[in-house]
Amino acid sequence: YKWPSPQYDPLEETLYQGGTTFTSFFNKEECRKRSSPRTFVAAEWIRLAYHDSATHDITYGTGGLDASIFHELDRPENSGAGMINAISDFKFAPNKYVSRADVIAIGTVFSSATCGGPIIPFRGGRKDAQEAGPSAVPAPSQDLATHIEKFRLQGFTQEEMIGLVACGHTFGSVRSSDFPGLVEGDPNDKSGVGLAFFDRSRRFDNAIATEYLDGTTQNPLVVSPNSRLTSDKRIFGSDGNVTMQRSIPRALHFIIIINESNFYSFESREFFMQTCSRLLARMIDNVPNNVALTEVITLLPAKVTEAYITVVRSQLLFKTTLRLAQPQNTTIPNNRSVKMLWCNKRGEFKDCSGAHINMASRPACGSFPSTTVTRRLGVDLLKYEFAAPILASESVGKFWFELDEGDGSTSTVLDNGGGGYLLETDEIIYVPWFSTARENGEDTQSQAFDLTFVAGIRSELSPTSATLNTYTNSEDGVIGPPQTPVLPLTHYPDRLLVEGYEWYQAPVINKISDGFQFSVDLEVMLADGASHKFDFGQTRSIDGEEGLDTLISEVTVGSGGD
């Protein structure tokens, strides 16, 4: 895909860049445990994803990973503190373009990546159900025929069912509090009774299969004396162990063929990982037929993460950030700099006529936070931020970058695959610097905030309407449709914003929830029927763009070359 894409950009950023409470859950490549009981976050996230996805029905093309689980927690099949933990990890993460269901799917991708499992390809675009789906999650007490039928309806063959259950039960445990018939003891007991792990390895690997086959397994769904509840035993053995044997080193079967043992052991580890990658991808891609998923979201090596015109103090600025991926632990050359170049959008030198090209340069500056997936790919994300003073009469049209390593080599041009990056809107601009967030003293209960959003509209325009559309689906306790109130922006002709733009503002009372996923869209309608939009303004930078005034770059004008 190409920048800008309202749908892909936020999905790509959530997957690779993170930066929210949810995405930074796994700060290291370790299977993080909760404090008490010592359960695995990753396991809780994957179980939740399966239980949401299990409502998929291939007969009618309904159900699947659609966040209906948010409405289904009162069912016995979804019981357990792990489910409540996972929901509370996820609930502040969705935003206008990343649905709750996408967050749950990304949770599975993160879980696998952080525990040493495969990097599961991720597609976005899931839609959130606003009500519960049918009851469809398999229970340990059901017989094999029922399980085969349930997985068939979810789109999996018997062999795939064996694989998917083994992949899901590669980590995590059965808790006594949830299944007292399977495990005894207190799950909070430090000695570990009350949490019966599926295998001895705490990583994403094929120990679930090797221990099952060599008879050392402690998996309660295999060894419980209550044979009614040993569903893994029935499922794993349902094809005479053929599928399970494919996921362990074949060297164990052909131990005498010493020369081939390495070959086979490599092959089978790969087989387990590849099988899990494929099946878990299908599990999270099980969506209702009327949902079209995106293509697989890959990491963009060079990406513009923001580009907008705004005002800081009394200065009109063009604010952009370029993100560059590079192999981890690579030393950045001291003299490296990134130059941003742009054409005026208006006035005499519009579209770079007369070879009038503006330039602003930055040395390497900080890096973006990255997610567990990005780190597994061995990539760092460098940040080059620009805040270039501009004039409203000139504005900004097309822009692009040149990466100069400072070693005499030819600069690399980063121009969005050829056409350059195009700043879409300068008619209406978002001004977080003058916007404010104040605690609403009257509503101490819900931590409400009085927000004032300030926007600028070009002075020569006569709007027939100007509106602000706030968007949140991440407020605590809100599991209904997203909140999207549309509010009028009021013109304040006496307030000076900046030369060329008029001051508009709208007050909003809202909770800024943990994830800061509350966003604003601005729209101005003109008499000729044209409308201009500024989409998905972030509110985390409200009340002063912290540090932005220190980034202001010197702008030079030239013909583009050195």
165 lines the binding site for ligand HEM (CB under 6 A): yes
171/453 with CB nearer ligand HEM: 171
Residues facing 525 on adjacent strands? 465, 531
311 lines the binding site for ligand HEM (CB under 6 A): no
* Beta-strand relationship, 337-342 and 448-458: unpaired
83/316 with CB nearer ligand HEM: 83
- Contact (CB, 8 A) for 411 and 404: yes
44 lines the binding site for ligand HEM (CB under 6 A): yes
Q: How far apart are CB 436 and ligand HEM at their closest, in Å? A: 43
Q: Which of 95, 103, 163 is nearest to 536 (CA)?
A: 95
The three-class DSSP label of residue 359 is strand
Q: How far apart are CB 82 and ligand HEM at their closest, in Å? A: 4
- Contact (CB, 8 A) for 153 and 145: no
How big is the chain by its Cα radius of gyration, in Å?
A: 27
- Contact (CB, 8 A) for 478 and 446: no
Distance from the Cα of residue 191 to its chain's centroid: 36
* Near ligand HEM by CB under 6 A: residue from 14, 31, 47, 312: 47
168 lines the binding site for ligand HEM (CB under 6 A): yes
Query: How far is residue 513's CA from residue 446's CA, in Å, rounded to a whole number?
Result: 10
* Near ligand HEM by CB under 6 A: residue from 18, 125, 138, 456: 138
Stretch that binds ligand HEM, among 175-183, 203-211, 401-409, 526-534 (CB under 6 A): 175-183
The structure tokens listed for 111 are 């879980």
47/246 with CB nearer ligand HEM: 47
* Near ligand HEM by CB under 6 A: residue from 56, 123, 126, 169: 169
Stretch that binds ligand HEM, among 165-173, 290-298, 383-391, 531-539 (CB under 6 A): 165-173
277/361 with CB nearer ligand HEM: 277
Compute CA distances 109 → 173, 251, 299, 464, whole Å.
19, 30, 14, 46
532 lines the binding site for ligand HEM (CB under 6 A): no
CA dihedral for 117, 120, 126, 132, sign (positive or negative): negative
DSSP string, 433-454: TT-EEEE-TT-TTTTEEEEEEE
Query: How far is residue 107's CA from residue 102's CA, in Å, rounded to a whole number?
Result: 8
Q: How far apart are CB 538 and ligand HEM at their closest, in Å? A: 33
284/522 with CB nearer ligand HEM: 284
* Near ligand HEM by CB under 6 A: residue from 8, 16, 25, 50: 50
247 lines the binding site for ligand HEM (CB under 6 A): no
96/175 with CB nearer ligand HEM: 175
Q: How far apart are CB 513 and ligand HEM at their closest, in Å? A: 25
* Near ligand HEM by CB under 6 A: residue from 94, 118, 172, 288: 172
DSSP designation for 330:
P
Query: How far is residue 384's CA from residue 382's CA, in Å, rounded to a whole number?
Result: 7
- Which residues of the shown chain bind ligand HEM in the complex (CB under 6 A)? 39-40, 43-44, 46-47, 50, 80, 82, 138-140, 147, 164-165, 167-169, 172-175, 178-179, 231, 235, 283
